[in-house]
Structure 1
Amino acid sequence: MDNIAGTKSSLTWVVHISVALLVILWLLPTIGLFVSSFRTADQIATSGWWKALTASEQNLTLRSAAPDTQVETNGLFVIEGQLFDAAQEAEISAWGINSRAIDAFKPGDTADLRKGGTITVQTDGSYRMENTEAFAGKRGQRVFVVATVPPELTFENYRAMLFSDENATGMVKAFFNTLTVTIPATVIPILVAAFAAYALAWMDFPGRALLIAVIVGLLVVPLQLALIPLLKLHLNIGIGKGYLGIWLAHTGFGLPLAIYLLRNYMVGLPRDIIENARVDGATEYQIFTKIILPLSFPALASFAIFQFLWTWNDLLVAKVFLIDATGQTTVMTAQIVELLGTYGGNWEVLATAAFVSISVPLIVFFTMQRYLVRGLLAGSVK
């Protein structure tokens, strides 16, 4: 019955379900990273991103007001205040004055302080400290609370990452450094591969079949195998510590796929168009620029997507070929690694930096994705 006209094969549903699962698996990490970039550090540490719009129970470390705010009332020295910020809404379910017993007391209970006096904490975070003698010291009493905190989304992570003096300079510099690496490393191999693909597709010369076989073989050569020899070559000729070296490295690593993809597409173009152009007296260069390139735009765009995503997200090649101790040529992937070492557990900063880094590839992909399938299927059907 599957072969009857007008009915769908059972495999069609399998394909649709598989594609849907792949899309979900690809989107979930991106959505999670995007949501996490708007959450606070405490929220990220205590609940998953899928709970960003629900209240969460958090363990918070807060402080009372400093002793210099105390007042004397009826022979007692009193410090009163609010543990939470004015704009923060939370409900305390337990609290303590020792990190090993953060839930030792309930709201409304009174605890004896180690240095004398008592403290009482209420559900809304208000507290009262009393002592028969003046409170000493420069800092307030540390209070550990278990509180239910409402959801909170903030732009503070982006402000701290993009506009603060501490982070903005490095991230903005890394952003433009990445553009400096990515754009030439995408354009150069496309230009070289387009000429080579046209020659392999429509020009007869000795050894053409052998060249095609070599290019196909280069597709399976591991990138890591060529890094050290290529770096030594670049250092010997003086281009191993700048942009030129990494442009040439990305060009070399991307050329086999580019030539293979473009050649397959150009072979599938109508032969009559090219033969008619030659009869009319057009040169090979004119045929290439006036006919082949415009017709090959889907394949060119397809490879441009791959190459742009590869060079933008690259860390290994940038670490090897951009040797710079001053940080003037640091790309965004390397900058995020430095943030990981500097900030450690500040996941809200890392999530924001990571999403800023992937935003440009996402824009490029969704802008040009309609050409991707057409380019990948080039030459597969005659």
Structure 2
Amino acid sequence: MDNIAGTKSSLTWAVHISVALLVALWLFPTVGLFVSSFRTADQISSSGWWASIFPTEQNVVLRAADPEDNRVADGDGFVVSGNIFDDSDHGTQTDIRAWGTSSRDVAAYEPGETADLGEGESLTLMADGGYEWRGDDDQISGRGQRVFVSITAPPDFTLENYRQVLLSGDATDSMAKAFFNTLTVTIPATIIPIVVAAFAAYALAWMDFPGRALLIACVVGLLVVPLQLALIPLLRLHLGIGIGKGYLGVWLAHTGFGLPLAVYLLRNYMVGLPRDIIENARVDGATEFQIFTKIILPLSFPALASFAIFQFLWTWNDLLVAKVFLIDATGQTTVMTAQIVELLGTRGGNWEILATAAFVSIAVPLAVFFAMQKYLVRGLLAGSVK
């Protein structure tokens, strides 16, 4: 009875758990990048993104006010008072857990205790950040006293990262400029190979001519050729014919590298279409071009959309081809992947900026994937079942 068709497998739970794990492995990094793009640098450095909605402990370095303009006579000496958070980016912090005057012991004192700074100086720091720095005229001078503070930081989210990434910088040094440059590269580099491959796939699927089988074998063989082997010869060809390094060169490069997969995918889909439809159209007097445009293309939309997703994602996330065929010293044609590399090189410590830039870069591919994923599955399964 266990082998009767239609009965539910006893291993269904294992399949469900496996799928859930795969989804989690893919989803967690994306969610983490999204959450980190709204966090401050201190929050990112002190805790993981999963702790973003909970208060976290941080060690920060603050300074008391400069004594020259803030000291007040008090008996035989002077006192500087105020709040340690007044001139810092931690104005919302009100809970000091411990503090110290040396980086070797940042938790030497509890809130409310007085630290002996030597030579008659003392510093008292309260839990809410209020302090009193006492000493005589010769001692309380120069810069404000440095204080190492352990604080409990509430969740802190900000849009400043996006403002800095998208709006800061000049016209040649911003992620917004790189975003439009990437669109300029990606859209034509997706449309051109689809148009060319659709004609080629129809010819290989439904037109009889000498050498068709050899051409199909060549297309399959090109699928396994690494694109790195063709970079230098293709660049020399571009320079030789006067294309140089620009948008036209990178469009043609992406078209050449994407055509084998496009032709193979579309040909496999078109060859599985009902033969009776095409033969009836020919009997009715339709030309090959009319059959292609009015019958084949509408029926092949899932395969076309499937390749469009692949080509769009690959072109959008590409760095190697852009580095070779789109080099621009002025930054006018810098794409997003190259711009992120520049941010990493010049701002290696600003993780909040890098997280924001990375999420801005993947936002469009994610939207394209989720909008067209049903066509992706249908296109990939083309020809697998007769």
Instruction: Give the TM-score, by structure 2 length.
Output: 0.94
Q: Which runs of 5+ in 1 are unaligned?
A: none
SS in 2 for 1:160: helix
Amino acid at match of 2:301: F
Asked whether the equivalents of residues 165 and 176 of structure 2 are also in contact (C-alpha less than 8 Å), the reply is: no
2: CA distance between counterparts of 1:194 and 1:41?
A: 49
Written as runs of structure 1 = structure 2, the 5 A alignment for 1:342-381 is 342-381=346-385
Aligned residue number for residue 217 of structure 2: 213
Farther off after superposition, 29-38 or 124-133: 124-133
SS in 1 for 2:102: coil
Farther off after superposition, 100-109 or 332-341: 100-109
2: CA distance between counterparts of 1:237 and 1:12?
A: 59
Aligned residue number for residue 75 of structure 1: 76
Deviation per CA, 1:334-354: give whole Å up to 9, x if none.
001100111111101100111
Aligned residue number for residue 136 of structure 1: 141
Deviation per CA, 1:102-126: give whole Å up to 9, x if none.
1222212222336862211111221
Asked whether the equivalents of residues 59 and 150 of structure 2 are also in contact (C-alpha less than 8 Å), the reply is: yes
Aligned residue number for residue 105 of structure 1: 109
Report sequence identity in percent.
76
Amino acid at match of 2:197: A
Quick one: which of 246, 251, 254 aligns to 1:247?
251
Instruction: Give the TM-score, by structure 1 length.
Output: 0.95
2: CA distance between counterparts of 1:265 and 1:193?
A: 12
Q: Which runs of 5+ in 2 are unaligned?
A: none
Quick one: which of 335, 342, 347 aligns to 1:338?
342
1: CA distance between counterparts of 2:119 and 2:44?
A: 35
Aligned residue number for residue 279 of structure 1: 283
Deviation at 1:127, TM superposition (A): 1.1
Farther off after superposition, 70-79 or 253-262: 70-79
Question: Quick check: 1:311 aligned with 2:312?
Answer: no
2: CA distance between counterparts of 1:251 and 1:113?
A: 70
Written as runs of structure 1 = structure 2, the 5 A alignment for 1:222-241 is 222-241=226-245
Aligned residue number for residue 162 of structure 2: 158
Aligned residue number for residue 25 of structure 1: 25
SS in 1 for 2:174: helix
Aligned residue number for residue 35 of structure 2: 35
Deviation at 1:87, TM superposition (A): 4.3
2: CA distance between counterparts of 1:345 and 1:70?
A: 36
Question: Quick check: 1:325 aligned with 2:329?
Answer: yes
Written as runs of structure 1 = structure 2, the 5 A alignment for 1:197-212 is 197-212=201-216
Quick one: which of 110, 119, 124 aligns to 1:120?
124
1: CA distance between counterparts of 2:299 and 2:125?
A: 74
Aligned residue number for residue 63 of structure 2: 63
2: CA distance between counterparts of 1:15 and 1:167?
A: 51
Amino acid at match of 2:29: P
Asked whether the equivalents of residues 162 and 168 of structure 1 are also in contact (C-alpha less than 8 Å), the reply is: no
